[in-house]
Amino acid sequence: MTSNQDNDNEKIPTHLAKATLFGVFAFSFVAPAVEASTTLRVAHVWPGGSMIDRELFQAWAESVEEASNGELKVEVFPSQTLAKSAQTYESAVSGIADIGASAQGYTAGRFPLTQVVELPGVSASARQGACILQSLYDQGYFEQEYADTRPLFLFTTGPGYLHTKNQLIETPADLEGLRLRRPTPVVGDMFERLGAQAVGMPAPDVFTSMQRGVVDGLSFNWEGMKTFRLNELAQYHTEVPPV
């Protein structure tokens, strides 16, 4: 079921879970000698075999190997197999991974300027959010937050909506007392102001938590619901109109 709330006096804040994402490249990487091949390790949080794993990370890995005539090999580690979500950025800094991709919100307080794009009303789509985020970085507004890495590119998810297992959310009052997974502290603050209990956890952990009743629902984008199989558990879905 889908509910759209049109009453201006009871409007739920829009884009609750527009999480920003990063691709980082460790400064410690050095171009290999021509006669030797080098393997780059890429760590990310999405499930192996998912569309983003296949069409972004695996496809990019193949393009790098082809462009380097085989001098560079890329080994992709999906599903937090090389680094957990909260440690992905630091794994690139320390050299455990050569490249990392995850959400800045998993590292609370580490990227406060970057996370401005998560605020309601900043963007209405993943494409717009990515353009805003990358442009702000290119103009030097928060490059200091990535001083120990070399960002390859920054992008955002699509708008986040409300998905619950047993209760349809039609008004802000319906959030009272619900335990909802929040993707970032910014979203968590919104939830708590509306009477919900915000629970922090990375996306790969939500399915089990929702299955066991640890959380009643979450704020997430549609593509993420399918990627992490959360559509199999959530019975109710509330889309919030853009502001």
User: The CATH number of the domain where 203 resides is what?
Assistant: 3.40.190.10
DSSP state, 242?
-
161-164 and 149-156 as β-strands: parallel, antiparallel, unpaired?
Answer: unpaired
- Cα–Cα distance between 237 and 87 in angstroms, integer? 31
The residue among 215 and 19 whose pLDDT is bigger is 215
Q: Do 132 and 144 lie in a common domain? A: yes
Query: Is the per-residue pLDDT at 243 higher than 80?
Result: no
Which residues span the domain enclosing 27? 20-156
Query: Is the per-residue pLDDT at 3 higher than 60?
Result: no
- 101-158 per-position pLDDT tens digit: 988 888 888 999 998 888 888 888 889 999 999 999 999 999 999 998 989 889 988 8
Cα–Cα separations (whole angstroms), residue 84 to 5, 24, 213: 37, 15, 23
Burial class (CB in 10 A: 0-12, 13-18, 19+), 16: buried
User: The CATH number of the domain where 75 resides is what?
Assistant: 3.40.190.170
- 29-55 per-position pLDDT tens digit: 222 233 345 899 999 999 999 999 999
- 70-110 per-position pLDDT tens digit: 989 999 999 999 999 999 999 999 999 999 998 888 888 89
Dump the DSSP string for 38-85: EEEEEEE-SPTTSHHIIIIIIHHHHHHHHHTTTSEEEEEE-TTSSS-G
Mean pLDDT score of the chain: 84
